Amino acid sequence: MLSLMYNHITRKLSALPSHSWQSVIGLEVHAQINSKSKLFSGADTSFSSPVNDNVSLFDCSIPGTLPVLNKKCVESGVLTALALNCRINPVSCFDRKHYFYADLPAGYQITQQRFPLAVDGKLDFQVFSHGTNKLPNAVQVRIKQLQLEQDSGKSLHDSDRSLVDLNRAGAPLMELVFEPDLTNGDEAAAMLKELVAILSRIDTCSCKMEEGALRVDANISIRRENEPLGTRTEIKNIGSIRGVAGAIEYEIKRQVAVREAGGEVVNETRSWDSVARRTVPMRDKEVQQDYRYMPEPNLPPLHVAMGPIQTGSVNADELQRLIPELPEETRHRLRVEKGLNLEQSIILVNDDSLLKIFQRIVGCGQVENKKLLANFLINDFITLLNKIEKDTCEVEESAEYLGEIVELLEKGHINRTTAKFLLEEILSENNKHSPMEIVRKKDLIQITDEKELTAFCEKVILENEKVVQAYKSGKTKVFKALLGSVAKLSKNKADMAKCTVILKRLLDE
């Protein structure tokens, strides 16, 4: 009976009104630290190594082995905390979190629950709405704490047996616990994009979600206005930014459906089925798990030197000076120095390879109009890359040619249609010519002579009497069809801005 009720509810999710409900979302992000060795052992952390190849005696819990803290991981944790405006604790401690996992041989995880490395941070980001308003909304989310901890291994289940791969066991993680300040999936996705941009910029995490380097848990609840927080559910280990947005939006609608049907939301852990695009139950949380936290006896307190407190092997003040220009600072510089708008600056900074291409072209001094360059990269260039299924990082070496195309466009030597054609040509695997060589070889120089353009327009008017009559009778939408005929007649070489003026003048005579 309950399953029938649940199926009935889920079928009607998209039709339910949710405006009377408020959703509350908090994220927990596990980011694997860029380090050649694990958090407490010298074992390698390379991805896709042979099964059980990156395993030390400590990782598989051989009696008598002890943890040795990786200094590089501590530095990365402090650097990340500083970049996220956190307060560094001069003294932090490690704890044992006990629970049984077949892929965690010790039977406990070493983490920092009670006295973490850093607390009280904040992350500012922009969210674009789906409405007509193109201006993004500024949102801030608070960071409760940042802690260092070790990862567990991986269990592989077959029909009659389970196998364990300990390559990830002990891999260094930063757990970022965010306060429940988010309200929907779009905000969560935008926050994660900003976090990825920051971690990539300071090089403390690869952020390759497809490799498990960044995993997200989402805690979601709903309530009516002015009510206390509702019962939350947790969605574990979401492996993509798109998946985070989809899982949260589905779960909000599911909880609303349950409440609207008179039911109660159960405190449980769920997983995201990216194929069916729905959350599914994993285990309930009706009984609070007792992890039996206890101080890690084999690791002394971790001291970080900062300000007047100069005891510790890691110095926060020195790391602070190593922080590069962060994404929001780059966006501000692009708007102030290069004249870009907010949307352009956000899109460029969110794609590190695209930003590198933009900066290389600007650095060569090829293009004066930086806004034109940004538009070309964001619209034409990215559209073509999506079409041919390539990433920006694969074509960074084409930056010089891209700059040459925009330079030709800026100087009026080619029009937009020719620019798109040149873009396809230079990204072709068989191309061996520069954009200017292609223009000369194929005679693609833009026609700007007014007499020649007028002749094109006059011919189009003579050959399209019915369309011209429709235009003169008030059907002005057909003007685009006439312009298209002019472009075709000129073999897409006409200066269409001039043709627009000429054609209107001739039609109004």
Write the CATH number for 474.
Answer: 1.10.10
- Whose tokens are 């790391």? That residue is 319
pLDDT greater than 90 at residue 141: yes
pLDDT attached to residue 135 = 76
Over residues 152-210, the pLDDT tens digits come to 998 888 888 889 999 999 999 999 999 999 999 999 999 999 999 999 999 999 999 99
pLDDT greater than 90 at residue 121: yes
Quickly count: other Cβ atoms within 10 Å of residue 156's Cβ.
11
pLDDT greater than 60 at residue 36: yes
Tokens coding 308? 């007047």
In degrees, to the nearest 5, what angle opens at C-alpha 279 toward C-alphas 274 and 280? 110
Domain shared by 126 and 42, yes or no: yes
Pick from 28-37, 118-127, 265-274: least confident: 265-274
- Tell me how far apart the terminal alpha carbons of the chain are, to the nearest angstrom: 76
Pick from 281-285, 411-415, 478-482: least confident: 281-285
Domain shared by 280 and 374, yes or no: no
pLDDT greater than 50 at residue 10: no
Residue 416 counted as domain residue: yes
What secondary structure letter does DSSP report for 30? E
E strands of 82-226, at which residues?
87-88, 91-92, 95-98, 108-111, 118-127, 137-150, 154-157, 162-165, 172-178, 214-223
E strand or H helix at 272: strand 268-273
Give residue 466's domain range.
450-508
Pick from 110-124, 225-239, 326-340: least confident: 225-239
Residue 322 counted as domain residue: no
Residue 165 counted as domain residue: yes
Instruction: Give the distance between the most distant pair of CA atoms in the chain.
Output: 96
Domain shared by 358 and 462, yes or no: no
pLDDT greater than 90 at residue 66: yes
pLDDT bin (cut points 50, 70, 90) of residue 301 is: very high
Average pLDDT over residues 474-487: 90
- Percent of the chain past pLDDT 70, that is, above it, reads 94
Number of domains into which the chain is organized: 3
> Residue 345, CB half-sphere, CA atoms under 13 Å: how many?
21
Most confident of the ranges 1-10, 65-74, 448-457: 65-74
Domain shared by 74 and 220, yes or no: yes
pLDDT greater than 70 at residue 1: no
Domain shared by 104 and 236, yes or no: yes
The amino acid occupying position 194 is: E
pLDDT bin (cut points 50, 70, 90) of residue 9 is: very low
Over residues 439-472, the pLDDT tens digits come to 999 999 999 999 999 999 999 999 998 889 998 8
pLDDT greater than 90 at residue 430: no
CA 164/CA 156 separation, integer angstroms: 6
In degrees, to the nearest 5, what angle opens at C-alpha 106 toward C-alphas 101 and 110? 95
Domain shared by 480 and 421, yes or no: no
Residue 314 counted as domain residue: no
Residue 24 counted as domain residue: yes
* Domain final residue pick, 295, 310, 337: 295
Domain shared by 181 and 250, yes or no: yes
pLDDT bin (cut points 50, 70, 90) of residue 437 is: very high
Domain shared by 280 and 363, yes or no: no
pLDDT attached to residue 284 = 66
CB-CB contact of 418 with 445 (8 Å): no
Average pLDDT over residues 33-45: 97
Residue 156 counted as domain residue: yes
Average pLDDT over residues 206-229: 93
pLDDT greater than 50 at residue 2: no
Domain shared by 472 and 346, yes or no: no
Residue 217 counted as domain residue: yes
CA 283/CA 267 separation, integer angstroms: 9
Q: Which of 170, 180, 171, 113 is nearest to 147 (CA)?
A: 113
- Percent of the chain past pLDDT 90, that is, above it, reads 73
Domain shared by 18 and 142, yes or no: yes
CA 396/CA 351 separation, integer angstroms: 12
How is 189-241 classified by DSSP, letter by letter? Answer: HHHHHHHHHHHHHHTS----GGGTSEEEEEEEEEE-TTPPP---EEEEEE-SH
Residue 46: exposure state from Cβ atoms within 10 A (0-12, 13-18, ≥19):
exposed
Residue 222: exposure state from Cβ atoms within 10 A (0-12, 13-18, ≥19):
buried
pLDDT attached to residue 223 = 93
pLDDT bin (cut points 50, 70, 90) of residue 133 is: low
Residue 19, SS3? coil
Residue 445 counted as domain residue: no
Residue 459, SS3? helix
| Residue of 197 and 134 predicted with greater confidence | 197
Residue 92, SS3? strand
Over residues 278-289, the pLDDT tens digits come to 999 987 655 556
What residues are paired with 448 via a beta bridge? none
Domain shared by 199 and 74, yes or no: yes
In degrees, to the nearest 5, what angle opens at C-alpha 190 toward C-alphas 28 and 275? 75
What residues are paired with 447 via a beta bridge? 494
Tokens coding 28? 């927990």
CA 311/CA 300 separation, integer angstroms: 14
CB-CB contact of 256 with 10 (8 Å): no
pLDDT bin (cut points 50, 70, 90) of residue 14 is: very low
pLDDT bin (cut points 50, 70, 90) of residue 271 is: very high
Burial profile 326-362: b = 16 or more Cβ within 10 angstroms, e = fewer: bbbebbeebeeebebeeebbbbbbbbbebbebbebbb
Quickly count: other Cβ atoms within 10 Å of residue 183's Cβ.
16
Domain shared by 346 and 288, yes or no: no
